[in-house]
Amino acid sequence: MNDEEMPIAACVDGMARAREEIARVIVGQDEVIDLALVALLCEGHVLFEGVPGLGKTLIVRTLADTLMMRFSRIQFTPDLMPSDVVGATMIAQGEGAGSGGELGLRFEPGPVFANLVLADEINRASPKTQSALLQAMQERIVTVRGRSYPLPRPFLVLATQNPLEMEGTYPLPEAQVDRFLFKIIVGHPGQDELVRILERTSGQPDSGAREVMREVDVLALQRATRDVVAPTELLQAAARIVLGTQPERPGSPERVRRFVRYGAGPRGAQALVLAAKARALLAGRYNATMADVESVIAPALRHRIALNFEGQSEGILVEDLIGEAADAARAALAFDEAIASQAR
């Protein structure tokens, strides 16, 4: 197969075909699939949350099959060790180990060395093992015994987690949660969707998704995403929304100042802008709009905001506070625009 990348327009068409293939295998969950493809173009990691049995693992595996990427699955359990994730240095004899066949050290890569890494039930492992992914997710390298090993590109961690109230789960470290571009809530299917699922799974097994894209084309789309134009007004809106989630700022909504322990930071603003660019490109546009930002506010910010004790005891929903911060940002931008119009 020719390794030369296709023109960007052809790559966008290929991603649309990939979307159709994934939807052919996955019943419903259209928004989940769309957000996963946006994250792929941003080369941003995704945290899927939902109770077991909703198809989170199948979504990730189908994505890998459709895009012809190296796929690896890590089943996180309480006894999983960091070396089970990133790899370990082993004593070996013979070629590549030492001169003259002597004993030497050889690095054995772990399952994290893949394009798409499924971290299944990531919050069932201990915090020590969860943190083994920190460097890989941020820097795309793994360091073992002082030596760094680059990870393949593209590289995405797509993690699933059970709701924290379920038994046998550990909360993810805050630094790791912030490294996920999106937190996507996977909900239960409706009645019609459930009937379609039963029709597909109770008969002869399906052949699965077809391969429609290559790594080189995905990399081309990731580069093109960065070139999509984001106007100054969009950047200002993203900044205002993120700042509006921070309780220490006087201009934040009253309920944010009352119920939030800490809000989103620069990574949240970066996620909004980059995801807006990716959505625009997937739609065949080379400029991002506020509608693109609006569509990703909740998944980009919900995991970057922590409620304080009062907020938790009151049963406050983070999504509601995000909506209030977005409303305040819209009002502030409209006011600035009105002042600018009067000045003109």
Residues contacting residue 282 through CB under 8 Å, at least 6 positions apart = 12, 15, 16, 34, 37, 38, 41
> 8, 58, 10, 66: which is closest to 37 by C-alpha?
66
Per-residue pLDDT tens digits for 2-24: 455 567 787 888 788 888 888 88
Percent of the chain with pLDDT over 70: 88
Residues contacting residue 295 through CB under 8 Å, at least 6 positions apart = 279
Q: What is the pLDDT of residue 1?
A: 42
Structure tokens of 20? 């159709």
Q: What is the pLDDT of residue 210?
A: 76
Residues contacting residue 194 through CB under 8 Å, at least 6 positions apart = none
Residues contacting residue 260 through CB under 8 Å, at least 6 positions apart = 245, 246, 247, 305, 306, 307, 308, 311, 321
Q: Which helix (H) or strand (E) holds 118?
A: strand 116-120
Q: What is the pLDDT of residue 99?
A: 52
Contact 140/125 with Cβ under 8 angstroms?
no
Q: Which residue has the higher pLDDT, 194 or 276?
A: 276
Q: What is the mean pLDDT of the chain?
A: 84
C-alpha dist (Å) from residue 326 to 43, 225, 258, 321, 329: 25, 24, 17, 9, 5
Contact 290/237 with Cβ under 8 angstroms?
yes
Residues contacting residue 173 through CB under 8 Å, at least 6 positions apart = 127, 130, 131, 134
Q: What is the pLDDT of residue 164?
A: 59
Contact 260/245 with Cβ under 8 angstroms?
yes
> 290, 277, 240: which is closest to 43 by C-alpha?
277
Contact 80/120 with Cβ under 8 angstroms?
no
Cα–Cα distance, 26 to 4 (Å, whole number): 30
Mean pLDDT of 191-202: 79
Cα–Cα distance, 55 to 51 (Å, whole number): 10
Per-residue pLDDT tens digits for 238-271: 999 999 999 999 889 999 999 999 999 999 999 9
Percent of the chain with pLDDT over 90: 36
pLDDT at residue 60 greater than cutoff 80: yes
Residues contacting residue 189 through CB under 8 Å, at least 6 positions apart = 27, 28, 29, 54, 197
Indicate the pTM of the whole model. Answer: 0.85
CATH topology of domain 1-79+112-225: Rossmann fold (3.40.50)
Q: What is the pLDDT of residue 50?
A: 79
Q: At what angle do helices 215-227 and 30-42 cross, to 10 degrees?
A: 80
pLDDT at residue 204 greater than cutoff 80: no
Mean pLDDT of 156-184: 80
Q: For the CA atoms of 263, 266, 267, 273, what is the dihedral angle to 10 degrees? A: 110
Domain 228-344 annotated CATH 1.10.3210.10: no
Q: What is the pLDDT of residue 103?
A: 66
What is 25-42 written as a DSSP string?
A: HS-S-HHHHHHHHHHHHH
Helix ranges (H only) for 228-289 are: 232-243, 254-259, 266-282
Residue 120 pLDDT level (bands cut at 50, 70, 90): confident
Residue 191 pLDDT level (bands cut at 50, 70, 90): confident
pLDDT at residue 207 greater than cutoff 80: no
The full set of domain ranges for the chain reads 1-79+112-225, 228-344
Amino acid at the residue 110: G
Contact 224/8 with Cβ under 8 angstroms?
yes
Per-residue pLDDT tens digits for 291-300: 999 999 999 9
Residues contacting residue 344 through CB under 8 Å, at least 6 positions apart = none
Q: Which helix (H) or strand (E) holds 135?
A: helix 134-139
Structure tokens of 239? 């900044």
- Strongest mean pLDDT among 26-35, 54-63, 198-207, 318-327: 318-327
Q: Among 79-88, 112-121, 168-177, whose mean pLDDT is lowest?
A: 168-177
Per-residue pLDDT tens digits for 123-166: 888 877 877 888 888 889 988 888 888 999 889 999 888 765 55
Residues contacting residue 59 through CB under 8 Å, at least 6 positions apart = 22, 26, 29, 32, 33, 36, 48
Q: Which residue has the higher pLDDT, 104 or 85?
A: 85
